[in-house]
Chains A and B, each alone.
Chain A
Amino acid sequence: MAGVGFVFPALVLFSVFTVYPMFKGVALSFYDAGIRTITFVGLGNYAEALSCPVFRKAFLNTFKFVCVCLPPLVVLPLVIAAVANNAGKRVRVFVRFAYYLPTLTAGTVAAMIWRWLFHPMYGLINSIIMGLGGPRVMWLSQNPTAMWAIAIVMVASGMGVSVMIYMAAMASIERSLYESARIDGCGKFGEFRHVTLPAVLPVLAFLVIVKTIGTLQVWQYVWMMTGGGPFYGTTTLLYLVYEQGILSARYGYASTVAVILGVITVAFAVVQYRFFTRRQG
């Protein structure tokens, strides 16, 4: 009974701010809902979404972001953590600090800084590229470079936490396992493959799922850096939700896009979860 009492406040908040809006959103997706008007349209919003080229573009862009960002967001931190884990204590502390620091920066601030770095005329990145004899790259002005630029920012900003989690997982691996591996003739790569990787697989699975969900919901970097452009090149589903719902007061249609995004997210999470649990099983 005391347990229920402790859980109750959180349960109330969760119900009011998460569960209720979720069901309300699903219900709203069947309505043409404006600010004060609401009309039942059945599957009309879904039909509109599926026939709308902007929705299809946003849908594809969202998947492209996942495909581009997920591997580096999961694998790069693993490599960095593995290398740091084999180094001395000072290096480990430095790596933790260096990679975690950017995650403390607000996303909007990071986006603004990166926008300047990517500026075609005055940006540092183009200065370096052109200084080395390369061409001027229209990072945020052209497709597909705009998507690549945002992906770089997402990876750079999102790696820190993963590095920390991997390093924590690796720190808990028994040293004796590495000694056994060495006795069995394993080199550094063999140790990583046969000891480190299996040990951190649950963490890797967790990160794949979390990062997939996070990438599916990319919004703030798009909003700050490209506004969904150029020519819908970086418009994502969540950006479309914002644009249609908040800016245009089309709450019904925005809810429809949000529901579709929610279904995709759940489907991804379930498939990935099953894949990893089978591998571990």
Chain B
Amino acid sequence: MRKILAVVLFALIALCAMTEGMEEQTGDRYIRFAYEGIDWECNATDTWYQGGWLLDNLIPQFERETGITVIVTEYPCGKPELQDADLKSDEPFDVFNAYASRISRLMDYSVDLYDYIPEYVLGKFIPAQLEQWVSDGKLFGLPHAGWTAFFCVDTTVTERVGFEMPDNADYDRSWSIDQFNDLLARVKGRGDGMYGTYLFAGDRNGDYWSAYGFFAGFGAKLYENGRPAFDSPEARQALAYLKWLQTEEHVPPGIAGYMYSDSFNAWKRNAVATIGGNLGHVTGMKQQGLDAEMVTELHTTAMMEWPSATGNRVPIMYGPDAVCVIDNGDPQRIKDAALFAEYLSSPDSHFARSGLGKWSPLFNARKPAEPLNWWKITSATMKSAGVYDMGAGFEGQTELRNLLATMLQGFFNDDLDIEGAIEFWTDGADRIIGR
């Protein structure tokens, strides 16, 4: 027993000594960098993290070039309370990289990056994309990849119903509402348990891309000038269309309770012709198809243009991740941290992040290498149509996203009619934003 105790004590002392040694290795100048870890929800399943680009390439490069040591903390995904606890501590992190809503949550504690990031760097961003991260004139975050709304089309289903998909080799947006409605009618007409499209509102994590796409397609804005803006003719049109999809049974029954993951299941079964989602969703669909050994070729297309929509804005886009610099009161540390944030949101970082095809880089400039088609379309559309405001600039963004889900649930279950849904959303969003 004594021997065991002696070994344990010795191990502890050795561990302490090693830790002390590690502390000594850090230079005079250091910053603490934290990010949310590997998880589907936290979007960290790409080369940026797992391929080692961040830890093996970017951080060593930054340390080499600046002489500033980066101390890294990885948080588990979806545990913001741990980040909060660290923020209250004596040694909070200086730079934080996470999903968009987690960055918005910290906007009060972030420095104004307009004061730290050189203008020529900010000038590289597509302006509409950067504007999402401004609150009360303060740039509280720098995004480094974005999701874009897309349709996934199951060509097995479209072929089965004799529908020819528009040629979208360049995502030319030739996919119109009339073509979409034609597809819905054909699928329904076949009457063998397939559905024209898919909606889901059951999740409380903000993944309502199926609805976002239709809202934006109709030009129904959720926010404008920092206020809720859903009380509009376009919103009424969009909601009426969603209700029509439901009552005409173009979507499966039970959509009020479906979650993001349910759409994958429907996809694997060739049960739906189209699923509105984003690039990440498309990648997931591809993987699900492979897992299910589907011979189907996934056909992706930008959201259709809606001739009847006033705004006619293609719904682009949101997050997913951004970086912020925390105001910890030490001017030098803030400066160093801002420099690191600049590295994190550099063009190289964007392209590394986008390498897997889930996200779009947010820069005007194109990498010299052959750009992928969806880069072209997303980039071009953002420049021409702007960015659909999904609330990244609100501190209570998580609550706002959950409120939208709740509104959709009430709407799909007939607890709310169109006017009731608009009133519910507007009142709730007003309360959250005005708090």
Bitwise, A87-121 to B at CB < 8 A (1) or not (0) is: 00000000000000000000000000000000111
The stretch of A2-10, A30-38, A72-80 in contact with B is A30-38
Nearest CB in chain A: distance from B72 CB, A: 21
Closest B residue to A223 by beta carbon equals B204
Contacts of B109 in A (CB 8 A): 35-36
Q: How long is the Cα–Cα vector from A119 to B265 in the complex, in angstroms?
A: 11
Closest A residue to B424 by beta carbon equals A231
Q: Are A143 and B399 in contact (CB-based, < 8 A)?
A: no
Q: Say yes or no: is B81 at the interface (Cβ < 8 Å to chain A).
A: yes
A37 contacts which of B108, B262, B399 (Cβ < 8 Å)?
Answer: B108
Contacts of B80 in A (CB 8 A): 246-247, 249
Q: Are B202 and A141 in contact (CB-based, < 8 A)?
A: yes
The stretch of B56-64, B146-154, B308-316, B405-413 in contact with A is B405-413
Q: Are B202 and A142 in contact (CB-based, < 8 A)?
A: no
Q: Say yes or no: is B433 at the interface (Cβ < 8 Å to chain A).
A: no
Q: Are B396 and A248 in contact (CB-based, < 8 A)?
A: yes
Contacts of A58 in B (CB 8 A): none
Contacts of B405 in A (CB 8 A): 227, 229
Contacts A36-B87, A246-B81: A229 and B396 contacting too (C-beta < 8 A)? no
The stretch of B3-11, B112-120, B178-186, B252-260 in contact with A is B252-260
Nearest CB in chain B: distance from A66 CB, A: 23
Contacts of A34 in B (CB 8 A): 108
Q: How long is the Cα–Cα vector from A230 to B409 in the complex, in angstroms?
A: 5
Q: Are B257 and A146 in contact (CB-based, < 8 A)?
A: yes
Q: Are A226 and B202 in contact (CB-based, < 8 A)?
A: yes
Contacts of A139 in B (CB 8 A): 257
Closest B residue to A121 by beta carbon equals B252
B413 contacts which of A36, A121, A122, A142 (Cβ < 8 Å)?
Answer: A142
Q: How many residues of A contact B (CB 8 A)?
A: 29
Contacts of B265 in A (CB 8 A): 119, 122
Q: Are A229 and B105 in contact (CB-based, < 8 A)?
A: no
Q: Are A138 and B88 in contact (CB-based, < 8 A)?
A: no
Find the residue from B255, B265, B409, B415 having the highest chain A CB count within 10 A: B409
Contacts of A232 in B (CB 8 A): 406
Q: How long is the Cα–Cα vector from A44 to B356 in the complex, in angstroms?
A: 49
Q: How long is the Cα–Cα vector from A199 to B106 in the complex, in angstroms?
A: 58
Contacts of A245 in B (CB 8 A): 81
Q: Say yes or no: is B237 at the interface (Cβ < 8 Å to chain A).
A: no
Q: Are B84 and A120 in contact (CB-based, < 8 A)?
A: no
Q: How long is the Cα–Cα vector from A228 to B257 in the complex, in angstroms?
A: 10
Q: Say yes or no: is A191 at the interface (Cβ < 8 Å to chain B).
A: no
Q: Are B253 and A247 in contact (CB-based, < 8 A)?
A: no
Q: Say yes or no: is B203 at the interface (Cβ < 8 Å to chain A).
A: yes
Give residues 189-227 of A contacting B (CB, 8 Å).
226-227
Q: How long is the Cα–Cα vector from A146 to B413 in the complex, in angstroms?
A: 12
Q: How long is the Cα–Cα vector from A112 to B272 in the complex, in angstroms?
A: 23
Contacts of A247 in B (CB 8 A): 80, 398-399, 402
Contacts of A227 in B (CB 8 A): 202-205, 259, 405
Q: How long is the Cα–Cα vector from A227 to B261 in the complex, in angstroms?
A: 13
Give residues 67-86 of B contacting A (CB, 8 Å).
80-81, 84
Q: How long is the Cα–Cα vector from A82 to B253 in the complex, in angstroms?
A: 43
Q: Are B204 and A35 in contact (CB-based, < 8 A)?
A: no
Q: Are B409 and A229 in contact (CB-based, < 8 A)?
A: yes
Q: How long is the Cα–Cα vector from A226 to B201 in the complex, in angstroms?
A: 10
Closest B residue to A123 by beta carbon equals B254
Q: Are B202 and A230 in contact (CB-based, < 8 A)?
A: yes
Contacts of A226 in B (CB 8 A): 202, 257
Nearest CB in chain A: distance from B80 CB, A: 6
Partner-B contacts on A (CB < 8 A): 34-37, 119-122, 136, 138-143, 146, 226-232, 243, 245-249
Q: Pick the 3 closest A-B CB pairs, nearest first.
A: A141-B257, A227-B204, A120-B254
**CB<8 Å pairs between A and B, sample of 11:** A35-B106, A36-B87, A141-B253, A141-B255, A146-B257, A227-B259, A230-B202, A231-B409, A243-B402, A247-B398, A248-B396
Partner-A contacts on B (CB < 8 A): 80-81, 84, 87-88, 105-106, 108-109, 201-205, 252-259, 262, 265-266, 269, 271, 396, 398-399, 402, 405-406, 409-410, 412-413, 415-416
Inter-chain pairs besides A141-B253, A229-B204, A230-B410, 5 sampled, C-beta below 8 Å = A121-B266, A141-B255, A142-B256, A230-B256, A249-B105
